[in-house]
Amino acid sequence: MTETQRAPITAEELRAAILQRYDSLSKRLQQIARYVLDEPNELALETLAVIASRSGVQPSAIVRFAKSFGFDGASQMQRLFRDGLLSAHAALGYSERVRNFNRAVDGRTRGGRGKLLSEFIEGNGLALQNLAQTVSDDELAAAVRLLELADTVYVVGFRRAFPVSSYLAYSLQQTGKRTVFVNGVGGMARQQMQTIAPRDLLIAVSYQPYAEETVNAVEAASGRGAKVLSISDSLVSPIAKPANVTLQVRESEIRAFRSLSASMCLAQALVIGFAFEASRKEEARVRRRPKS
């Protein structure tokens, strides 16, 4: 720790500092940084031993991480989250509720299709409830604003993210927004990105393990000066770090099957939010038009 290092005084300040310094951290400290960003409730409430076990590091590494950001130790960093971020959230964090749910599911025998359906409904319900915690109204508004300002919207998302990206491309086209779906047919993803320009926007969707094609598309868009809107599972994912706005989604996993319910819900809210704003501004423009 340098003499000029000052410990953040709010959870948001620490999050900003982690995002700013993430690339310069060692691989082990990056592992802890991701846990701090993705699991703030657990960081605030759990013991150092539990945090170390769940993040896959030694307790001493967490102490070293805290000191690198100006804290005296890990407990001071935890207190910052406990007093700030969790002041209005007394309930169990999402990850703990998911663990409780998965333990209950693992203890059951498969009781037929009806029972399986109820498990997926319950698991996806948890992910949908958590969506309100990971995406704020301000972040969604910022994403809608990027859509409004873009001349053309490019949409990319491969593998598991493909249904989300295809829905976004289709729905945006339905609103009348000029949209290019980067689907990579015939191995042409790179060529489909060649026309993106500084006044355009790329919406990139990817989750761990991140699709190389999507990461390449984000790098291409950033290199050409275009804006990037990322939908991903972490604020430090390869497509989130270069993005102008990142919407974080944490999906459910039921019996080793990862869902897309929260992502599709977010995609719907994004498109409808854009359509609403476009309609409102068009109505205002018509009202201002001089009557003949």
How crowded is residue 152: how many other Cβ atoms within 10 Å of its Cβ?
Answer: 16
**CATH 1.10.10.10 in the chain, residues?**
11-85
Residue 110: its pLDDT value, please? 53
**By the 8 A CB rule, do 62 and 54 touch?**
no
Quote the CA–CA distance of 212 and 15 in Å, as a whole number: 26
Query: 137-285 belongs to which CATH class?
Result: alpha beta
Spatial contact of 261 and 147, defined as CB atoms under 8 Å apart: no
Most confident of 5-14, 61-70, 249-258: 61-70
Q: Where in the chain is the domain with CATH 3.40.50.10490?
A: 137-285
The string of pLDDT tens digits covering residues 116-142 is 778 888 888 888 888 888 899 999 999
At 179, list the tokens. 């949209």
Q: What is the crossing angle of helices 59-68 and 48-55, to 10°?
A: 100
Per-residue model confidence (pLDDT) at position 90: 42
pLDDT band at 258 (very low <50, low <70, confident <90, very high): confident
Counting residues of the chain whose pLDDT is more than 90, the rounded percentage is 51
pLDDT at 139: 94
Helix, strand counts (H, E) of the chain: 13, 7
Q: What angle do CA 138, 238, 6 make, to 5 degrees?
A: 65
pLDDT of residue 152: 97
Per-residue pLDDT at 253 exceeds 90: no
What tokens were used for 34?
Answer: 């991701």
- Which of the two residues, 88 and 84, has the higher pLDDT score? 84
pLDDT score, position 42: 81
| CATH architecture assigned to 11-85 | Orthogonal Bundle (1.10)
Residue 193 is given by DSSP the state T
Q: How many CA atoms lie within 13 A of 12 on its CB side?
A: 1
In the predicted model, is pLDDT for residue 34 greater than 50? yes
In which band, very low, low, confident or very high, does the pLDDT at 102 lie, cut at 50, 70 and 90? low
**Which DSSP string do the residues of 134-190 spell out, in sequence order?**
HS-HHHHHHHHHHHHH-SSEEEE--GGGHHHHHHHHHHHHHTT--EEEE--GGG-HH
Cα of first residue to Cα of last residue in the chain, in angstroms, is 71
Q: What is the pLDDT of residues 180-212, one digit of tens each?
A: 999 988 888 899 999 999 999 999 999 998 999
pLDDT at 87: 45
Give the span between the Cα atoms of 42 and 125, in whole angstroms: 20
Q: Which residues have C-beta within 8 Å of that of residue 150, sequence separation ≥ 6?
A: 177, 199, 200, 201, 227
Quote the pLDDT of residue 43. Answer: 85
Q: Measure the CA–CA gap between 154 and 177, rounded to whole angstroms.
A: 11
pLDDT value, residue 62: 94
Residue 94 pLDDT: 54
Q: Are the C-beta atoms of residues 263 and 231 closer than 8 Å to each other?
A: yes
What was the pLDDT predicted at 92? 45
Structure confidence at residue 257 (pLDDT): 78
Highest averaged pLDDT of the listed ranges 11-15, 36-40, 202-206, 236-240: 202-206
